[in-house]
Amino acid sequence: MNKAVIGLQWGDEGKGKIVDFLSENFDLVARYQGGNNAGHTVIVEDITYKLNLIPSGVIRGKVCFLGQGIVLDPEHFIKEYEQICKKISNPKIYLSSNIPLILPYHKQLDKINESILSGEDKIGTTAKGIGPAYQDKVGRKSIKLYDLKKLG
């Protein structure tokens, strides 16, 4: 059986808590869309976990998968992964190699785009580069995780 948790209130509906609750009954938890602007805090056995990108199922020892529909800030992912590793040994996290990356220029574009808007036109961006990274994805010009392997 599969279950999907879908938010309908622009991100503040408590999806992280629901996913944490439901993950108890599943072997795999996947995130298929979004970026690291989401935030959820989960407390398990008096240990507090603050996550923005990685599914909260990782806390319960579940396999977590980040799919190609997300956009990934490599610096943020590494920091979040390192924080998880301080509390959980050998977390099971897998990433699609086809994930578009959020690069520093995406964050700058996000800030510039917001700065030229005024009043009601402002979107209230988190300036994390998520929108511009999705623009590159849709325009088929994003740099993807597998491109990093080509460099190494």
**Residue 141 · residue 108 · CB < 8 Å:** no
**Catalytic hit among 12, 27, 46, 136:** 12
- Look up residue 99 and give its DSSP letter: P
**Cβ density class 2-14: b for 16+ within 10 Å, e for less:** eeebeeeeeeeee
**Active-site pick, 40, 73, 76, 121:** 40
Cβ neighbours for 14, distance < 8 A, ≥ 6 positions apart: none
Is 76 considered catalytic here? Answer: no
**Is residue 40 annotated as part of the catalytic site, yes or no?**
yes
C-beta of residue 55 within 8 angstroms of C-beta of residue 19: yes
Say which residue the tokens 């994930």 belong to.
99
Which residues lie closer than 8 Å to 52 by C-beta, 6 or more apart? 36, 37, 38, 39, 40, 76, 80
First to last CA, the chain: 39
* Residues with active-site annotation: 12, 40
